[in-house]
Amino acid sequence: MLTKSSTELVRQRNSVLVLSVLRRHGALAHTEISDSTGLSSATISAITTELEKAQVIEKSEQQPASGRGRPRVLLRQRRDCGYLIVVIISSDAVQYSLVDYAGKLIDRFSEERSHDPAGAVRFVAAVRAGLLRILDRSKISQEKVLLISISSKGLVNSTEPVLVWSPIFGSEQIDFESALRPEWQAKVILDNETLLVAAALGAREEMVKGADFRSLAALSLGHSVGLGIVRRGNQTGQEISAPNFGHMLHMANGGLCRCGTRGCIEAYAGFYAILRSAFEVPLDTIPAKFVPVAELDKIAAKARQGHRVPAFAFRQAGLALGNGLSRMLSLTERMPIAITGPGTRYYDLLRQGIEEGLGQSHIVRMEGMPEIRVVADEQILVFEGHLNRALSVIDEDIVLSGVQGIQASATVQESG
């Protein structure tokens, strides 16, 4: 369904555009913004003075002029325009980060978290306490927090911040919106962790390749298996999705997965599955949910020494991943695949299986093997993805609803 367009919409979009280039390149001068947006200088003037009045951006102090001519006046976001809290939920801890509007980290701490599977209610309470704690430590007023951006492994509702399925709580849903609503006015968004990795990698890729960038998939290997896909939209930036890849069917009536279904990819490629396979435990018994990495390192060492059974376990994991990726490629388009997560340390053992699994499908035989690269530092990518996404959401919200209101209150302040 098409929808009508108006001149106000034009201004909104161009304002968001200005904020986004400011976000990408840091402090910029009038002319630079004009160059990188394609908007005329006059328009930049109009938009920036409006944003300045609304206290969203500010002119930097006079700085030592480099080169002749009238010195540039740099425009930058006002750090105190608003704040963002990032909550990264991982299997053994929850990390809270407070970030200002310019993307600068202000405070951060982690809290251990028990693996109590019946603790969804308690977990939500812990998150609420954590949020209040980081707010309290920084002495920032609660209204200044514009957005709470949460990430977790598992399956996320695409429209609302509801965790539909997670490795720890299973099908016990967690609705962060309603959990935080009485206490917080801030908008709450929830994303799958690997989706954020894909978003970060996609943004990096677009920085390098520019308009040539088409799409990219991020595969995260660890206790569970995650996939994020980022595609260049026709106009509206990037489209990102985080399918339920780890629990896509690998083989009908296959090994039992910790989700209770048989034959999931994770039941072959998750850490616990590799362990199970290496110890030749029957495929219908389900081992511990979380396996110490040291344990897996031992198996990997044996495999590298040439022991048949552990090597086979990694190979089977690779095959499941390769088959799954080939199915994903059959449904999308050829795209490079970036592998991240703790599982990358075993990539030497997985590689052959992955490539063989990929090669078993028509699409790969026809179009050739996709580019596969290993990217370490998943944690950094997750945080980077949070910032990319959350800050652009904030920018949009400010322009959409805020500018007039904030501007009005600002002028009142001036005159008062």
Q: Does 198 bind a second copy (CB under 8 A)?
A: no
Closest alpha carbon to 219 in 314, 388, 341, 354: 341
- Of 6, 285, 413, 415, which one interacts with a second copy (CB under 8 A)? 6
Q: Which does 71 bind (CB under 5 to 8 A by kind): a second copy, DNA, none?
A: DNA
Site for a second copy in 153-172 (CB under 8 A): 158, 164-165, 171
- Of 55, 91, 142, 332, which one interacts with a second copy (CB under 8 A)? 332
Q: Which does 389 bind (CB under 5 to 8 A by kind): a second copy, DNA, none?
A: none
Q: Which residues contact DNA by CB under 7 A?
A: 4-8, 10-11, 14, 29-31, 38-43, 45-49, 62, 65, 67-73
Quote the least distance from Cβ 146 to DNA, whole Å.
22
Q: Which does 95 bind (CB under 5 to 8 A by kind): DNA, a second copy, none?
A: none
Q: Which is nearer to DNA, 60 or 114 (CB)?
A: 60
Q: Which does 118 bind (CB under 5 to 8 A by kind): a second copy, DNA, none?
A: none
Quote the least distance from Cβ 389 to a second copy, whole Å.
14
Q: Which does 231 bind (CB under 5 to 8 A by kind): a second copy, DNA, none?
A: none
Please give the backbone phi and psi of residue 338, each rounded to the nearest 5 degrees, phi first. -105, 125
Q: Which does 340 bind (CB under 5 to 8 A by kind): DNA, a second copy, none?
A: none
Cα separation of 270 and 321, whole Å? 10
Cα separation of 274 and 311, whole Å? 10
Quote the least distance from Cβ 346 to a second copy, whole Å.
21
- Of 167, 228, 243, 270, which one interacts with a second copy (CB under 8 A)? 243
Q: Which does 41 bind (CB under 5 to 8 A by kind): a second copy, DNA, none?
A: DNA
Q: Does 261 bind a second copy (CB under 8 A)?
A: yes
Q: Which does 45 bind (CB under 5 to 8 A by kind): a second copy, DNA, none?
A: DNA
CA atoms within 13 A on the CB side of 360: 14
Quote the least distance from Cβ 399 to DNA, whole Å.
10
Q: Which is nearer to a second copy, 210 or 416 (CB)?
A: 210
Quote the least distance from Cβ 331 to a second copy, whole Å.
4
State the SS3 of the chain.
CCCCCCHHHHHHHHHHHHHHHHHHHCCEEHHHHHHHHCCCHHHHHHHHHHHHHCCCEEECCCCCCCCCCCCCCEEEECHHHCEEEEEEECCCEEEEEEEECCCCEEEEEEEECCCCCCCHHHHHHHHHHHHHHHHHHHCCCHHHEEEEEEEECCEECCCCCEEEEECCCECCCEEHHHHHCCCCCCEEEEEEHHHHHHHHHHHHHHHHHHHHCCEEEEEEECCCEEEEEEEECCCCCEEEECCCHHHCECCCCCCECCCCCECECHHHHCHHHHHHHHCCCCCCCCCCCCCCHHHHHHHHHHHHCCCHHHHHHHHHHHHHHHHHHHHHHHHCCCCCEEEECHHHHHHHHHHHHHHHHHHCCHHHHHHCCCCEEECCCHHHHHHHHHHHHHHHHHHHHHHHHHHHHHHHHHHHHHHC
Name the one range near a second copy by CB under 8 A: 120-128, 283-291, 306-314, 355-363. 355-363
Q: Does 249 bind a second copy (CB under 8 A)?
A: yes
Q: Does 10 bind a second copy (CB under 8 A)?
A: yes
Q: What is the dihedral of CA 21, 22, 27, 31, to 10 degrees?
A: 60
404: Cα separation from own chain's centroid: 31
Site for a second copy in 33-72 (CB under 8 A): 37-39
- Of 25, 104, 365, 373, which one interacts with a second copy (CB under 8 A)? 365
Q: Which does 237 bind (CB under 5 to 8 A by kind): a second copy, DNA, none?
A: a second copy
Q: Which residues bind a second copy (CB under 8 A)?
A: 1-7, 9-10, 13-14, 16-17, 20, 37-39, 158, 164-165, 171, 206, 210-211, 232, 234-237, 241, 243-245, 247-249, 251-253, 257, 259-264, 319, 323, 326-328, 330-333, 357, 360-363, 365-366
